[in-house]
Amino acid sequence: MRCFSRGFLMGGALLLPAMAAFVPPAEGPVPFRRDKLPVDVDTMTALSRQVIVLAAAEDGEGAGERRAVAQMAALALALDPANRQARDLIAAAAKGEKPGTSDEKELERARNRAWQTLSWLEMPEAGTDANALAACLGDVLAVADPRHPKAKEHSGEKGAWKDWVAAKEAFQTKEAVKPVEPDPESGDGGEKPVKPAETLALADLELAMPLWVQNVETGEESLQAVKVTFHGELSGKGKTEFMVAGEGVSERLAKPFRALETAMTARHGSLPSGLTVSLGFGKATYSLPRNGNALTGTTALLLEGALTGKVPTAITLAQVGEGGKLELPPKFWKSLKALAAMPGGGRVILPEQAAEFLPSLLTMDQAAFFMKREILLASTVDELCDLAAATPEGAAGDAMKRFSEIRKVGEGKALGTFAAHPATQQRLKELTDVMPKHASARMLALQGSGARARFLPRQVLAREIRTALEPAAMLANLQIKNGDDEADHGLDKAHETSRTMLDALSGYIDIRDRDLHKAALEVTDSLRTLSRLISKEEDNFGNVTPKKMQAVKTARDGYQKAIRDLTTAAGDEADYPLPKAGGDDN
């Protein structure tokens, strides 16, 4: 369907071009279980990619085609929850954007291989779950490749899509109606422009923030819920300034605070003249190397409360970027894992990009996090501030009431059984229909559907392995001296700690990613080998032997290479610069 290029006036309203409706698929109920399919993980992952190649070739101009795209995306995610392309396709379709088309050869190859896989899955001996997958796959292939000889066999929908993908009617084109803008020359109609605030509704308030802090005595760092205090003063003239305890008017935070100021100015029309914001952290200090610009997300909520008088009731793990967009803060996965382990509940707002990391918490058996805390996603500062309100308006408020009711019903019940119950699945489905960015509801639905991934995506696994190697960081600056043969330098303890953490990850590793795990095990083994070598006697002159010096260098080089490879696999080089080696070994 082609949209008209111009709107026209009728009955006091402007009818905009027809808007193509796209309803994102739910997380379930998925009619098959991945762990019961008679195919290996590689085949499931490959089929997931093939289905997305087919989806990208659809033009999405009709309701049926738009629904087919939603079905393909749902099927791709059911086969491989870590398929980022599928999530990107859903996000693009929801915005009315068409993803880039696939190469013709790639498209033909995807069609052929998908039909081949279907031929095996639909055989009776493949099993009930495989047959359920085959029914869904046949539906989408009949749309994507209608000229194939077997397409007629799959005419008429046979897959179990109910409550997973919306009906065709939901994808019908709708007319967007917008109130007519008042004519300034006519002297009538329209609301008067909002006068910029010249006072603060609240000059002092505070809000908890997940903050990485270091223990002065032990040197260990941990994520803690630190109360950030806000104090605002107005001079009546001059620009807005942000002062951070321990930093003052920080040049290091100048750019991100300007982005925050621009976003809040756009939201409120303007900020009070001569506003000075002072931020404190009690006995803690704000460490830029550990927390980056994450302070800007919390500051946005505090400033919103100061301007409106409404104290925010949510915490956030996000930073403000250009154009008011929310971004992931540094070391996001590590922070998310630490937050999931912290006690307490309440509402947590994450950047929309966090969606690709959340299923990994289910893989690591941390589904309870999504029940004890209400996790929401936001893409902009506006969404962040709206969702943090005590009683959000519209669909968000409705969704939060629904989630509160679900939690009440599930209180005291085994989470796995409760989430899998058909009634709970239905209520979660209804909730995500109202609010697609309600991450807690989506993840609990995925948990209950039995379709959660068994293995961690490579980028998440790399982060986990890198964390397990943190005790081995001592190799970067290890030096041995004459007379050190009685000291183990903490190498044995570092080996034991790292090895325990690496062993715990073994059940989450896809066969294709074992190279990362194997390299990390070699690093930990080098710690033990080095400890034994150092404890041996030196030469007759009491000098450190060349063999010991070479062993230190070899272990250090192995550690640095492993960290380099893991960081490349994780894709977060900016957050994890490679540690420098520490000088001579003697």
When pLDDT is averaged across residues 537-544 and rounded to a whole number, the result is 52
Give me the phi and psi of 182, to 5 degrees please: -65, 145
What is the sign of the dihedral through the CA atoms of 146, 149, 152 and 154? negative
Q: Which tens digits make up the pLDDT trace of 115-174? A: 888 988 988 888 898 999 999 999 999 888 888 888 888 878 888 988 888 888 888 876
End-to-end CA distance of the chain: 75
Q: Which tens digits make up the pLDDT trace of 177-207? A: 444 455 554 444 444 444 455 688 999 999 9
Q: Residue 8: exposed, middle, or buried by beta-carbon count in 10 A (0-12, 13-18, 19+)?
A: exposed
The CA distance from 40 to 36, in Å, is: 10
The CA distance from 110 to 54, in Å, is: 7
Task: Note whether 482 and 538 are within 8 A (CB).
Answer: yes
Both tokens of 199, joined, read 């006072």
Size of the chain, expressed as the number of residues it contains: 586
Q: So what's the pLDDT on residue 471? A: 92
Q: What is the value of pTM for the model shown?
A: 0.71
Collapsed DSSP state (helix, strand, coil) of residue 62: coil
Q: So what's the pLDDT on residue 177? A: 44
- CB-CB neighbours of 464 under 10 Å: 25
* Position 387 pLDDT exceeds 50: yes
Residue 333 CB partners (closer than 8 Å, separation 6+)? 357, 360, 460, 463
DSSP codes of every residue in 443-492: HHHHHHHT---SS--HHHHHHHHHHHTGGGGGGGG----TTGGG--TTHH
Exposure of 573 in the CB half-sphere (CA atoms within 13 A) = 4
β-pairing, 13-19 vs 326-327, is unpaired
The CA distance from 464 to 25, in Å, is: 30
Q: Is the peptide bond before 330 cis (omega within 30 degrees of 0)?
A: no
Q: Which tens digits make up the pLDDT trace of 511-528? A: 999 999 999 999 999 998
When pLDDT is averaged across residues 329-339 and rounded to a whole number, the result is 95
When pLDDT is averaged across residues 363-378 and rounded to a whole number, the result is 96
Task: Note whether 300 and 357 are within 8 A (CB).
Answer: no
The CA distance from 349 to 186, in Å, is: 44
Q: So what's the pLDDT on residue 96? A: 76
For the ranges 37-46, 182-191, 234-243, 529-538, which has the lowest average pLDDT?
182-191
Query: Quick one: which of 354, 378, 563, 356 has its CA closest to 473?
Result: 563
